[in-house]
Structure 1
Amino acid sequence: MTAPLNVAILGASGYTGSELVRLLARHPRAAIRALTADRKAGQAMADVFPQFAGLDLPRLVTIAELDLAGVDLVFCALPHGTTQTVIKDLFAKKPELKVVDLSADFRLTDPEAYATWYGHAHQALELQAEAAFGLVELNREAIRGARLVANPGCHSTTSILPVVPLLRAGLIDPANIVIVSSTGMSGAGRAAKEEMLFSEVSEGVHAYGVGKHRHTSELDQEFGKAAGRPSLATFTPQLIPMNRGIYANITVTLAAGATAERLHEALATTYAGEPFVQVLPFGKVPQSRHVRGSNNVQLGVIADRGPDRAIVISTLDNLVKGASGQAVQNMNLISGFPETEGLNQLAIFP
């Protein structure tokens, strides 16, 4: 029997960290060898997340206590801005290590863009230059040979998957893309915040980061690359009172000669054979409940009233395909495993 891939999860006490544990605990080719936390160091994982009772998992330790001996791959589920120096130190200690980073620290290829959006200079420019943008369906070959993979953001994954193929095909106007992307509460993280209390967010919807959300920088980068010229989408995220899921309504202006039906055909062709992307029949509207708990993405294309516009709808689970499931998919790819390994769970419905 082939030896398992030994993995460590940094930041295991957060939602994305715990989702990695959930997925990897039943992965047939991976073994969890180390888990880190900050405030929860010294505790058992089941004390922090009781759903893991009965699993044989390592106790939580600080990053300073992490022993890389025997570890083949590290998942970093740490806050933005802190991960750069952590990963730089990991590679200094063990250059042959593989890293999948779930923060935003290595997603942008332009150092100036990073400084503009995140308010400080990047602390590991040489690593930023080598990182692969970890959206497997659109960047598979670059990821396959990477040492460092930058998992895309959840909002950006939801919008990039449907929009980039349309830009590459020249079917839509890069200057007229309007995205309203609604996310569940787990996207805000697990830290205690007054504005995230149940009574503060239930029975209502509100926009946040309007005109300045940091995932916009990923859209600018990937849309511009696909279009071959700058593309500044209008992006408005919204917080809705559900635990999981992202639901993006994307209004696009059609290029000359394009139709909504051609957009649907282009997406169906692009994702034919992709195990985690389902393009629904033309005119059918996806629902977030149908991807909950899975690594699946559902896309729908609907003709708008105006003959020069179409509506594209995209939905996924922000903790799975939007974060930890995508990270496991990246791990599978760079490790030579089947991409679907450990990710075959169906959506939880109802």
Structure 2
Amino acid sequence: MKTNQRIKHITSVVLIGIMLFTCLSLVGLNREDAYGAAEKTATIYVTMSVKGDIAVADGEVMAEVPVKVKTADGMTTIDAVMEAFHKEYKPDGYLCDQFVSKLWGIETSNTLFFINNLSITSGVKSEPVKNGDRIIASVNADDKYYSDYFSYFGKTAITGITGGSVTLCLQGFMGMTQNADPQAIPNAELGIVSEDGFQKLDGIVTDQDGKVVIQLDKDTFQAGKTYYLSARGTVPTTATDWNTAGNPAVNVDAPLIAPICKITVDSKVAAGVKATRITHLKTKASKGKVTLTWKKTKGYKADGYQIYRSVKKDGVYRSIGKTTAKKYTNRSSLKKGTRYYYKVRGYRTMDKKIVYTKWSQIVSAKAK
């Protein structure tokens, strides 16, 4: 009898212990989730178009501006991003209760928002955005027919060489439509957006296919600098006349919502260094050290090489040293039996800026 009671007592204690452990684990998980959520930050890139021009604030072009927003699950909303964006660049310039009533300091309800060149499908307070997304926010120009035409270049960023050329294609759709098939936009004037606003490039307009070739002449596009290209123009189309009985369709010249493309201009040498590859990376492990050797493609010299290491192939790589030779010996922080992963890139200093080659392939070695 006592034995049975003892077994029951032990069983009860074990069950209670399991329950307590489970509860504490759940609490720990909840706390961990809560803390983890608080630590997560999404970076969203914002472009602000104001009646057809990219906005400028204190000399900074409001194109592809990185905005950091804390999230609970990796997702946030346009509303949260706009709050953070305006807090930084235009305090008290944004207001949204149920609908947006002020954007970029302008009191208006005539606004549109796009994510990754697509129309949003719900309100700004509920439309989700995630890390890396691009938001285009527009204060529209047409307050009569609301015909503003969303436009975008086929590429949001491009690298060119001074003296060479780049080709862009401009396309878009009526902003009020839900992701209509994009159409080529002809006869749009291209220009550079700087702290002084939009500066037209003489004679540079899109053709009937929306394409345009831009010569990167040395006087306008200097090596080592970055430029923001945009476009101005209208698109002949039809819109709804909301102010007339029956809401008839009317012919309009729809103003463009400003597109943006960031162009990085390199010299021929810088471009050559960036295209240079590090090849034949090999490792050899011996007691207390791992020796790396590699080669470089011909054509452009490197001032030196950076060596990065990780304990996981897809993990975080950290710099462990640099050398001017095509050989490096890793002696520090090696743990016997651990496999280490390595990659190498070259670098060259030009006009006080560092230009990097392409990364080598990843190779590994087990420390001895």
Give the TM interval when normalised to the shorter protein.
under 0.3
- TM-score norm. by structure 2 comes to 0.22
Q: Which has the higher contact order (CA 8 A, sep 6+)?
A: 1
- TM-score norm. by structure 1 comes to 0.23
Higher relative helix content = 1
Higher relative strand content = 2
Q: Which has the larger radius of gyration?
A: 2
